[in-house]
């Protein structure tokens, strides 16, 4: 295997993002294949006993076992790191494997974590139900409130953890401020950037230490595989994340890594076009529904902050109907768009968070997080925007809006 370009990492780092997305991290075998090869192998063989010893001792480069290294997986990791502007990246089987690994690898009994209230349901579940079992305390804050982060700090605070935009309330976190407070207090900031991806938002530029992904969403972008990734400095990945990951084994399958690798080639085109379609639909819907939250519209209370952090506002927004019954009737009236809880897909998908993705938070938790009974979250796809608008228009009319 050799680097396809014959170029070193310093050169590929200087490529512009679109070039990195298509060529970054590519290795080629002796066959000179155009598209990255898929290595479905769990193990490796060696020329002689001395070289396997040298590899295990770390004196010789090369693969030893696919829980530790796999060429296809490494191509994906290098490409994500380049696109993120991060020194290093490691991938995991799912977004939740990535979040769990990013948190558990660095937290110990007696530590304290501060996390944003509005978050993906399973992220909150880990903080409330897994970390607490191992003696890791938490404070949950309104992530939009800059002062709340500082007030929550204790002498044992190790990690700040948040999403921006948050799922599904579209809350925006002031990253420069919150990451700055963390840095000043020796706290590691972990940002779940699944909604935006590095194409729309580069968290490291705002002072984040670790960026974690559900690559299931926009990175794959075509609803095919589950995948996750964690990016950080070379030192943090090698010294903090890797000892945990190599021994606990949350690895992505090489086939799934390959799918995401191919997805990244079109990520920028999809993310920008889906953002454009979402903006057109949100503009159309704004006067039709009681309330709509899209960071790309001036009516979003944190519009200016969102647009200072993001290149475009992404494919996802939320809107509010009267109650659960009206929300469900609207979903049932759709003819083109699908009812689905996935996001980032090239198809337009709608879901009712209170009864699905955020069901496990309980009624009280949802009320506190602003996940109302009439709320619907939409992922706007790559269909012709006029067809999406027509479908939503028809469904809203059917429920009397
Ligand atoms: C989907 C999602 C996750 C979980 O990712 P999976 O790939 O489904 O495990 C975590 N955080 C956010 C913001 C998500 O949207």
Helix (H) or strand (E) segment spanning residue 248: helix 242-248
Tens of pLDDT, residues 241-253: 999 999 999 999 9
pLDDT band at 358 (very low <50, low <70, confident <90, very high): confident
- The closest-lying atom of ligand 1 relative to the alpha carbon of residue 163 is 13
- Bridge partners (DSSP) of residue 161 are 115, 190
In 8-90, which residue ranges form alpha helices assigned H by DSSP? Answer: 9-14, 17-23, 49-57, 71-84
**Are 401 and 288 in contact, with CB atoms under 8 Å apart?**
yes
Task: Decide if 94 is inside a domain.
Answer: yes
Buried b (16+ CB within 10 A) or exposed e, 264-286: bbbbbebbbbbbbbbbebbebbe
Strands 88-92 and 137-141: what pairing?
unpaired
Distance 218 CA to ligand 1 centre (A): 11
Q: Which residues have CB under 6 Å of ligand 1?
A: 94-96, 99, 120, 123, 163, 167, 192, 194-195, 214, 216-217, 226, 228, 343
Tens of pLDDT, residues 305-336: 999 999 999 999 999 999 999 999 999 999 99
91, 238: one domain: yes
274, 197: one domain: no
206, 278: one domain: no
**Are 163 and 119 in contact, with CB atoms under 8 Å apart?**
yes
- Please give the pLDDT value at position 37: 96
333, 246: one domain: no
Task: Decide if 60 is inside a domain.
Answer: no
7, 128: one domain: yes
Residue 131 has pLDDT above 60, yes or no: yes
Task: Decide if 177 is inside a domain.
Answer: yes
Task: Decide if 155 is inside a domain.
Answer: yes
Domain end, chosen from 205, 233, 264, is at 264
Tens of pLDDT, residues 173-232: 999 999 999 999 999 999 999 999 999 999 999 999 999 999 999 999 999 999 999 999
Mutational pocket test of ligand 1: of 100, 161, 192, 194, the residue with most ligand atoms within 8 Å of the beta carbon: 194
Q: What residue has token string 């209370």?
A: 301
234, 166: one domain: yes
Question: How many domains is the chain built from?
Answer: 2
CATH of the domain at 379: 3.90.1150.10
Average pLDDT, the chain: 96
Task: Decide if 47 is inside a domain.
Answer: no
Task: Decide if 222 is inside a domain.
Answer: yes
Distance 96 CA to ligand 1 centre (A): 6
Residue 3 has pLDDT above 80, yes or no: no
Could you give the CA distance from residue 202 to residue 80 in angstroms, rounded to a whole number? 12
Q: Which is nearest to 163 in space by CA: 194, 124, 132, 199?
A: 194
Enclosing domain of residue 305: 268-398
User: Residues 6 or more apart from 135 whose CB is under 8 A from it?
Assistant: 109, 110
Residue 4 has pLDDT above 90, yes or no: no
Buried b (16+ CB within 10 A) or exposed e, 65-97: ebeebbbbbbbbbbbbbbbbbbbbbbbbbbbbb
Report which protein residue has its CA nearest ligand 1's atom 6. 95
What the block records as the tokens of 287 is 């006067």
- Please give the pLDDT value at position 281: 98
What the block records as the tokens of 257 is 């890594």
Report which protein residue has its CA nearest ligand 1's atom 1. 214
135, 180: one domain: yes
Could you give the CA distance from residue 210 to residue 91 in angstroms, rounded to a whole number? 13
CATH of the domain at 151: 3.40.640.10
- The closest-lying atom of ligand 1 relative to the alpha carbon of residue 226 is 7
- Please give the pLDDT value at position 179: 98
pLDDT band at 7 (very low <50, low <70, confident <90, very high): low
For 50, other C-beta atoms within 10 Å of its C-beta total 10
Domain end, chosen from 244, 264, 284, is at 264
Distance 52 CA to ligand 1 centre (A): 38
Residue 5 has pLDDT above 70, yes or no: no
Report which protein residue has its CA nearest ligand 1's atom 15. 194
- Please give the pLDDT value at position 73: 97
Q: Which is nearest to 321 in space by CA: 290, 363, 294?
A: 290
131, 169: one domain: yes
Helix (H) or strand (E) segment spanning residue 97: helix 95-104
- Please give the pLDDT value at position 86: 97
Tens of pLDDT, residues 104-118: 999 999 999 999 998
In 105-241, which residue ranges form alpha helices assigned H by DSSP? Answer: 121-125, 146-152, 175-184, 197-200, 234-236
Mutational pocket test of ligand 1: of 99, 116, 120, the residue with most ligand atoms within 8 Å of the beta carbon: 120
| Phi, psi of 167, rounded to the nearest 5 degrees | -95, 120
Could you give the CA distance from residue 79 to residue 4 in angstroms, rounded to a whole number? 13
Average pLDDT for residues 242-271, to the nearest whole number?
98
Residue 301, CA distances (Å) to 137, 169, 296, 309 in order: 31, 12, 11, 15
| Phi, psi of 240, rounded to the nearest 5 degrees | -105, -55
Q: What residue has token string 């519209």?
A: 297
- Please give the pLDDT value at position 19: 94
Strands 27-28 and 2-3: what pairing?
antiparallel
Mutational pocket test of ligand 1: of 91, 167, 211, 257, the residue with most ligand atoms within 8 Å of the beta carbon: 167
93, 215: one domain: yes
255, 277: one domain: no
Task: Decide if 63 is inside a domain.
Answer: no
Average pLDDT for residues 395-399, to the nearest whole number?
98
Residue 6 has pLDDT above 60, yes or no: no
Task: Decide if 294 is inside a domain.
Answer: yes
Tens of pLDDT, residues 28-48: 999 999 999 999 999 999 999
Residue 291 has pLDDT above 60, yes or no: yes
How far out from the chain centre does Cα 38 lie? 24
195, 235: one domain: yes
185, 276: one domain: no
Report which protein residue has its CA nearest ligand 1's atom 2. 214
Residue 351 has pLDDT above 70, yes or no: yes
- Comparing 81 with 7, the larger pLDDT belongs to 81
Average pLDDT for residues 369-381, to the nearest whole number?
95
Domain end, chosen from 231, 248, 264, is at 264
**Are 72 and 36 in contact, with CB atoms under 8 Å apart?**
yes
């Amino acid at each position: 295997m050799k680097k396809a370009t014959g170029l070193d990492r310093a050169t590929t780092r200087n490529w512009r993002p679109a070039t990195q997305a298509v060529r970054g991290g590519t290795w080629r075998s002796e066959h000179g294949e155009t598209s990255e090869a898929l290595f479905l192998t769990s193990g490796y063989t060696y020329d002689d006993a001395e070289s396997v010893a040298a590899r295990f001792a770390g004196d010789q480069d090369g693969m030893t076992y696919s829980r530790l290294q796999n060429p296809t997986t490494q191509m994906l990791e290098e490409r994500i790191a380049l696109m993120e502007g991060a020194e290093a990246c490691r991938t995991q089987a799912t977004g939740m494997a990535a979040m769990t690994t990013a948190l558990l690898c660095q937290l110990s009994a007696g530590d304290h974590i501060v996390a944003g209230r509005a978050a993906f349901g399973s992220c909150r579940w880990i903080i409330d139900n897994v970390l607490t079992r191992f003696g890791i305390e938490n404070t949950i804050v309104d992530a939009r409130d800059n002062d709340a982060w500082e007030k929550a700090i204790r002498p044992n605070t190790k990690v700040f953890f948040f999403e921006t935009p948050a799922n599904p309330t579209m809350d925006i976190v002031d990253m420069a401020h919150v990451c700055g407070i963390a840095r000043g207090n020796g706290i590691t900031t972990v940002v779940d950037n699944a909604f935006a991806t590095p194409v729309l938002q580069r968290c490291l530029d705002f002072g984040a230490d670790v960026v974690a992904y559900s690559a299931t969403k926009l990175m794959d972008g075509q609803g095919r595989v589950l995948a996750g990734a964690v990016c950080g400095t070379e030192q943090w990945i090698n010294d903090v994340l890797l000892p945990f990951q190599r021994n606990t084994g949350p690895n992505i399958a090489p086939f799934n890594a390959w799918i995401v690798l191919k997805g990244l080639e079109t990520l920028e085109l999809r993310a920008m076009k889906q953002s454009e379609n979402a903006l057109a639909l949100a503009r159309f819907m704004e006067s039709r529904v009681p309330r709509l939250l899209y960071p790309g519209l001036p009516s979003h209370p944190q519009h200016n902050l969102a647009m200072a952090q993001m290149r475009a506002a992404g494919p996802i927004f939320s809107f509010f109907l009267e109650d659960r019954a009206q929300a469900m009737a609207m979903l049932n009236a759709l003819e083109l768009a699908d009812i689905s809880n996935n996001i980032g897909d090239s198809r337009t998908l709608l879901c009712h968070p209170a009864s699905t993705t955020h069901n496990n938070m309980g009624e009280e938790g949802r009320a506190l997080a602003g996940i109302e009974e009439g709320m619907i979250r939409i992922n706007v796809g790559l269909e012709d925007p006029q067809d999406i608008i027509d479908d939503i228009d028809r469904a809203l009319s059917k429920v009397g809006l």
